[in-house]
Amino acid sequence: DIQMTQSPSTLSASVGDRVTITCRASQIISNWLAWYQQKPGKAPKLLIYRASSLEGGVSSRFSGSASGTEFTLTISSLQPDDFATYYCQQYDSYPITFGQGTRLEIK
């Protein structure tokens, strides 16, 4: 199985900050990676697919990039609504696997 390792597990930041979350795959996944945002008690929401393609209707403050087996999600200027948990997911091969999540909290 492909292991997805996110860092950090928790990130404290302030409104207006630029933040980056990293996800590392245990083997090559050829950029078949998605990012999801989840708020407490809610379903996940798709933000990014194919490592860097922004889902329609998602703020352009969100961006994704890839370098080999390392992937990053960047939020350019944090807004109050962005404080949530973020998950990466690989869909290159079965079983589909998620990172353990990064909780973004208000400093």
Q: Parallel, antiparallel, or unpaired for β 53-54 and 45-49?
A: antiparallel
91 is a site residue for another protein (CB under 8 A):
yes
Number of other residues whose CB lies within 10 A of the CB of residue 61 = 14
Q: Which of 34, 78, 84, 104 binds another protein (CB under 8 A)?
A: 34
Task: Return the number of the residue (17 or 38) whose C-beta is nearest another protein.
Answer: 38
36 binds another protein (CB under 8 A): yes
Q: Give the residue with the Cβ less far from another protein, 83 or 98.
A: 98
Hey, what are 100's tokens?
């353990």
Q: How far apart are CA 73 and CA 71, in angstroms?
A: 7
> Scanning residues 39 to 68, which ones bind another protein (CB under 8 A)?
42-46, 49-50, 55
Burial class (CB in 10 A: 0-12, 13-18, 19+), 79: exposed
CA 15 – CA 26 distance, rounded (Å): 33
If binding is defined by CB under 8 A, does position 101 make contact with another protein? yes
Residues of this chain that interact with another protein (CB under 8 A) are 1, 32, 34, 36, 38, 42-46, 49-50, 55, 87, 89, 91-92, 94-101
